[in-house]
């Protein structure tokens, strides 16, 4: 689900591995609109995807969030780290968490409802 919206990008020539979430792609944009319709403060631009993803992964795998950096923009979210075999495995896990988060809209909405005051919305 959302294959075109979530990508693992390996760039050994730049010593970087990234997971990019393109929140303006149609499917993910529509999900963001539904999230915002239920939770007014959750206008789902790249900055609020950053807040949601960091909080979600921090709850499910806190150690992982200590090993990656994030860089949100208006239309996308990116998590990144330096290139290595070990970090590639970490970023694949990060991508898996993001895909799992968006794969079940009902569970995602429930998670947001239960944690909306703890998430650091933009």
Give the pLDDT confidence of 15-50 residue by residue, as tens digits: 999 999 999 998 999 999 999 999 999 999 999 999
| pLDDT tens digits, 52-90 | 999 999 999 999 999 999 999 999 999 999 999 999 999
Mean pLDDT of 97-119: 97
Question: Is 122 part of a structural domain of the chain?
Answer: no
**What is the average pLDDT value for the chain, to the nearest integer?**
95
Question: Is 103 part of a structural domain of the chain?
Answer: yes
Question: Is 39 part of a structural domain of the chain?
Answer: yes
Mean pLDDT of 92-121: 97
pLDDT value for 107: 97
Question: Is 56 part of a structural domain of the chain?
Answer: yes
Structure-token match 């780290």, residue found? 81
Residues with Cβ within 8 Å of residue 22, at least 6 apart in sequence: 4, 5, 6, 7, 28, 75, 76
What distances in angstroms separate CA 23 from CA 82, 85, 106, one per listed residue?
Answer: 24, 28, 19
Is residue 1 predicted with pLDDT exceeding 80? no
Its domain, for residue 87, covers 6-115
- Looking at the 3D structure of the chain, how many domains does it have? 1
Question: Is 120 part of a structural domain of the chain?
Answer: no
Q: What is the CATH number of the domain that holds 87?
A: 3.30.70
pLDDT value for 3: 78
């Amino acid at each position: 689900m959302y294959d075109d919206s979530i990508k693992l990008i390996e760039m050994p020539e730049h010593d970087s591995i990234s997971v990019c979430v393109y929140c303006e792609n149609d499917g993910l944009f529509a999900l963001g609109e539904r999230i915002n319709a239920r939770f007014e403060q959750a206008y789902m631009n790249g900055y609020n995807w950053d807040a949601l993803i960091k909080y979600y992964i921090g709850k499910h795998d806190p150690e992982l969030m200590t090993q990656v950096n994030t860089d949100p923009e208006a239309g996308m979210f990116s998590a990144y780290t330096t290139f290595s075999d070990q970090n590639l495995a970490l970023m694949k896990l990060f991508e898996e968490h993001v895909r799992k988060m968006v794969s079940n809209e009902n569970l995602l909405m429930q998670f947001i409802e239960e944690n909306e005051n703890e998430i650091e919305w933009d």
